[in-house]
Chain A
Amino acid sequence: DQQVKQNSPSLSVQEGRISILNCDYTNSMFDYFLWYKKYPAEGPTFLISISSIKDKNEDGRFTVFLNKSAKHLSLHIVPSQPGDSAVYFCAADSNTGNQFYFGTGTSLTVIP
């Protein structure tokens, strides 16, 4: 039973435009949400996170939005750059839980 879902396996965006990656979750106990970036033959790298007490967190070109009522989060990358081309995973955790749950990833291609 997948508790974190990314319904778009791939996304292509022109360089300089905004990339929006989406993620949905089912477990209302989750209180911490993360985005990871993964290049081929490397491990996932932590990108940005958000606690459930917030609805937005920004770090440079990356912004994560959380809509708790819809159980939905999104990652905005603006402006998108070719080096952003990678697979992006969203993940969720609860303070009382013992594991992180991951989505299946979205492959982002930024076209120069």
Chain B
Amino acid sequence: DTAVSQTPKYLVTQMGNDKSIKCEQNLGHDTMYWYKQDSKKFLKIMFSYNNKELIINETVPNRFSPKSPDKAHLNLHINSLELGDSAVYFCASSRKDRGNSPLHFGNGTRLTVT
């Protein structure tokens, strides 16, 4: 059973399109995240949600909009895609209500904008 699953694994699209990436976790965690891994392999936080509420929104263009319909899901919608959005996007979850708890990642979505 996959703990954190995200779909699709690969996404190739043209500039200007709108796309979504879905994420689900079955670990019972209360906090979910989106991380972006850029071409330099640096993992950078984009958003963090705790119990469906946004608690972090780093410097991310407002073309990116996270949606958390419930504690187990955190989807990422991207409008008007640009070439610079090409990256690998990782969904993750953790259990913040129990103090120190590791982050669990999905397998990533490789987005290529042409």
> Which residues of A pack against B, CB within 8 Å?
2, 31-32, 34, 36, 41-46, 49, 51, 87, 89, 91, 93, 95, 98-102, 104-105
Contacts and interface: CB of A to CB of B under 8 A. Distances in A.
Nearest to B110: A41
B12 interface: no
Given A87-B41, A105-B41, A34 B48 contact: no
A87 B37 CA distance: 13
10 contacts: A34-B102, A43-B90, A43-B108, A49-B100, A89-B43, A98-B48, A98-B96, A99-B33, A99-B48, A104-B42
B102 A46 contact: yes
A91 B35 CA distance: 13
B102 A42 contact: no
B96 to A, nearest CB: 8
A34 B41 contact: no
Contacts of A93: 100
B45 A49 contact: no
A49 B102 CA distance: 8
Nearest to A2: B42
Nearest to B107: A43
B56 to A, nearest CB: 5
Nearest to B45: A99
